[in-house]
Structure 1
Amino acid sequence: MIEISGVSKRYDETVVVDDVSITLPRAGITAVVGPNGAGKSTLLTMIGRLVSASAGRIAVDGLDVATTPGDVLARRLSILRQDNHIVSRLTVRDLVAFGRYPSSKGRLTRDDAAHIERALAYLGLEALAERFLDELSGGQRQRAHVATVLCQDTDYVLLDEPLNNLDMKHARDMMRLVRRMADELGKTIVIVLHDINVAATYADRIVAMRDGRIVRSGPPEAIMTSQALAAIYDMEIEVARIGDRMLAIPY
């Protein structure tokens, strides 16, 4: 599990994450939602140790994120950032191979090669493996980045807004893939999403942030109420049920 205790992040006098404490259980998908500037991505990148906390403690299965050696943490936890600045003249296979670096230190073994092939196959990228990244569509590139994270083969996977710049079909396909990773591979996935309806459809639990704090958390049915959504987004939102799904409709 991921334990977050009294965590804050400040930039000079600006508080981005404000005294957050929550425990995220193992297994399944936790979606972190909220309006722009809520602190969602900052919290995720602190869990992944891409930025340091100004106060508090984060532990993954008891390992203190701030003090655990990088190579040890990288075998337990992987993260896909929102802004991936990767040299475009890499092939898909080259990119995915980077996921093995924490284990291989750049000297790929047969086991590493097997991990790479499995990740390519799982994401349906075998036919694109030798293509350069700048020859791919946005959806294909995003799948390649997710394959890199999957290739790292960690128990915990952090995804920061992986649906950015994806159309409706590719966003649906990506979330189905994330759901499969949780269900078939037993991954514990924490994902930052903008769309509350996507979160309610695919996540097991939702953590809602606003102004750097957690204002609601629980299963989708506890979050998908007009009262809860008004507290999160500061606007009137109607909740409709379509079959077994709930849909938030702002008005």
Structure 2
Amino acid sequence: MIEICNVSKTLGDTIAVRGVSLQIPRKGVTSIIGPNGAGKSTLLSMVSRLLPMTAGTVTVDGLDVTSAPSDLLAKRLSILRQDNRISSRLTVRDLVEFGRYPYSKGRLTPEDREKAAAAIGFLDLEDLTERFLDELSGGQCQRAYVAMVLCQDTDYVLFDEPLNNFDMKHAVNMMKLLRRAADDLGKTVVLVLHDLNFASCYSDYIVAMRDGDVAHQGTPDEIMRREIIRSVYDMDVEIQDVRGRKITFYYT
């Protein structure tokens, strides 16, 4: 379990995250939603130690992310950021194998190569393994980065807006893959998402943030309610139930 206790982040004169306390359940898919500037990505960056906290603590299965050795934390938790571009000219295979660095320190073992091959297969990248990243489309490149993160083989996998660069069809396929990572691989998947339909359809738990704090949290059925969405986004919505899933249609 990820336990977030009274976490705050101040950026200059702005309070980006204010005293957030939250427990993210183990396994399954948790989506963090909310308007721009709500503090979603900032919170995720502090959980993964990419950004220092102004106050508070975060533990992952009891491991304090602030003081834990980097190699130990990297075997427990991984993250795919929005700005995930690598300047070096790498092939897809090179990038995915980089996910094994916490274990191999650059000296790949047969087990490392097996893990990389499994991640490549999981993301359906076999035909692209020898292609350079700068030769790929945005969507293909994003899939390669997701494969790298899964290759790291951590229990907790964090994704900051993983649907960037995807059209609707490929976004659906990516959400299905992340759902499979939770169901078939036993991962705890935590996503920052802007699309409420995807959050509703693929999540087990939803955290809604506004103004740097947690406004609401609960199951999709508990969160995908007209009055709750209105209070988070300052806009009205019409919500319909389609085949047992809450699908959100927007209007102002």
The alpha carbon displacement at 1:241 in A equals: 1.5
> In structure 1, what is the equivalent of residue 141 of structure 2?
141
Question: CA separation in 2, counterparts of 1:175 and 1:115?
Answer: 21
Amino acid in the other structure paired with 1:117: A
Task: Give the conservation status (yes or no) of the 8 Å contact 1:157–1:188.
Answer: yes
Summarize deviations over 1:106-151 as a string: whole Å, max 9, x none.
Answer: 1111111111111111111111100001111111111100000011
The alpha carbon displacement at 1:35 in A equals: 0.3
Question: CA separation in 2, counterparts of 1:125 and 1:247?
Answer: 31
> In structure 1, what is the equivalent of residue 54 of structure 2?
54
> In structure 2, what is the equivalent of residue 219 of structure 1?
219
Amino acid in the other structure paired with 1:152: Q
The alpha carbon displacement at 1:82 in A equals: 0.6
- Superposed, 1:97-246 pairs within 5 Å as 97-246=97-246
Summarize deviations over 1:65-121 as a string: whole Å, max 9, x none.
Answer: 000000000000000001112126210000001100011111111111111111111
> In structure 1, what is the equivalent of residue 24 of structure 2?
24
State the TM-score, normalized to the length of structure 1: 0.98
Bigger mean CA offset, 120-129 vs 147-156: 120-129
3-state SS in 2 of match to 1:134: helix
Amino acid in the other structure paired with 1:130: E
Amino acid in the other structure paired with 2:2: I
Q: Which runs of 5+ in 1 are unaligned?
A: none
Question: CA separation in 2, counterparts of 1:165 and 1:94?
Answer: 21
> In structure 1, what is the equivalent of residue 80 of structure 2?
80
State the TM-score, normalized to the length of structure 2: 0.98
Question: CA separation in 2, counterparts of 1:233 and 1:16?
Answer: 17
Question: CA separation in 2, counterparts of 1:233 and 1:192?
Answer: 15
Amino acid in the other structure paired with 1:147: A
3-state SS in 2 of match to 1:246: strand
Question: CA separation in 2, counterparts of 1:3 and 1:243?
Answer: 34
Amino acid in the other structure paired with 2:139: G
> In structure 2, what is the equivalent of residue 90 of structure 1?
90
Task: Give the conservation status (yes or no) of the 8 Å contact 1:88–1:133.
Answer: no
The alpha carbon displacement at 1:246 in A equals: 1.3
Q: Runs ≥4 in structure 1, deviation > 6 angstroms?
A: none
- Does 2:4 align with 1:8? no
> In structure 1, what is the equivalent of residue 69 of structure 2?
69
| Cα distance change on mapping 1:140 and 1:88 into 2, 3 Å | farther
3-state SS in 1 of match to 2:99: helix
Q: Which runs of 5+ in 2 are unaligned?
A: none
The alpha carbon displacement at 1:243 in A equals: 2.1
The alpha carbon displacement at 1:250 in A equals: 2.3
Task: Give the conservation status (yes or no) of the 8 Å contact 1:88–1:134.
Answer: no
Determine what percentage of the aligned residue pairs are the same residue: 60
Aligned residues: 251
Task: Give the conservation status (yes or no) of the 8 Å contact 1:207–1:214.
Answer: yes
Q: Cα RMSD over matched residues?
A: 0.9
Question: CA separation in 2, counterparts of 1:80 and 1:250?
Answer: 29
Amino acid in the other structure paired with 1:123: L
3-state SS in 2 of match to 1:185: coil
Amino acid in the other structure paired with 2:227: Q
Question: CA separation in 1, counterparts of 2:43 and 2:102?
Answer: 23
